[in-house]
Copies of this chain bind each other. A is one copy, B any other.
């Protein structure tokens, strides 16, 4: 049997190919300085503490750490997440409204399963996180892009969109967005929340980077501003260990009940062994110090990159100035294509992600993403210098 037999589902045909995957393959060449990655810096992972937590879990537990467990997730871990919301953001999130998922990526899949019909409209940020579009495109192909600016979502366009037809979901990464690095201002959040309140539209607030703030002040969560219209996604992938695939969804009772059914159908439950280990790690280590360490490191890296950019990029290139996270976003003069720049940059042994995959059906964009979490200081200087020269030669 062959693919040409037409046996494939219609929905899989809607899923965009991962252009980033192809780019990362090219950028894997060790002689290339790559700003294309999206990985947290693994030198900052708390390996020793995780090793200790694992030892302790073996010492204190029996075979039950290897047995099947419940679909909702390990209750003591959900209690820690609940306590962390209360402490950090003053949010009241009962453990019963937290479902442990395989990273926040699975949260998107489960929301798609439970909420989205084929013709439902889904608002996504533009530029926006490709993984969310991938996950949700298995359930609907009606994506409505709403531009994001340095201060947040374009309120006028969002308002017009909501007037035309209430979308099922609005997907947003309000803190240090991937790919742009921007954060929604307090005013912007209030305006978005005001538009959603009382509608039948749920805002999915994905917040993988929120704790990795290196400057500025924390802004209120949508969960505070429009609690009835907000579903939260969280993750330990950027603060502890991505390989653990531990994230969570916060949802109201009526939705949680269905999400648990979808989780059972998807994979019964999330790995129980690592839930125990993570819980032990969080209970016995100074997670705040861990997060501060990462934030400081990424902040220093970003400063270095910004300083280098202001020296070497022509002034016609605009860049965002993130207050946290792992990415910044560059906009070339309109006449230039970032894919063309990428193809030339590879020859100069420097890589980044061109903007195209972060848009719905746009090509030849003039934007690109730069990652600053993984590249050493000297390489940042060298890579940005090379990129600056290239851009100048294109102008």
Contact = CB atoms under 8 A, between A and B. Distances in A.
Interface of A: 1-3, 5-12, 15, 17-18, 21, 39-40, 42-43, 45, 47, 50-51, 54-55, 58, 62-69, 101-103, 105-106, 109, 113-117, 131, 134-135, 137-139, 168, 200, 202, 228-229, 237, 240-245, 252, 254-255, 258, 261-262, 264-274
A66 B241 contact: yes
Given A8-B258, A117-B10, A45 B67 contact: yes
A230 to B, nearest CB: 10
26 contacts: A1-B200, A2-B254, A7-B202, A8-B115, A9-B114, A9-B115, A11-B113, A15-B261, A15-B265, A42-B64, A43-B63, A45-B66, A47-B62, A54-B54, A66-B240, A66-B243, A67-B243, A68-B237, A101-B267, A105-B268, A109-B266, A113-B138, A134-B265, A243-B272, A244-B271, A244-B273
Given A58-B51, A68-B243, A243-B65, A138 B262 contact: yes
A268 B58 contact: no
A39 B18 contact: no
A245 B270 contact: yes
Contacts of A269: 245
Contacts of A42: 62-64, 66-67
Given A1-B229, A3-B254, A54-B58, A114 B8 contact: yes
Contacts of A272: 243
Contact of A39 (B5, B39, B67, B168): B67
Contacts of A5: 200
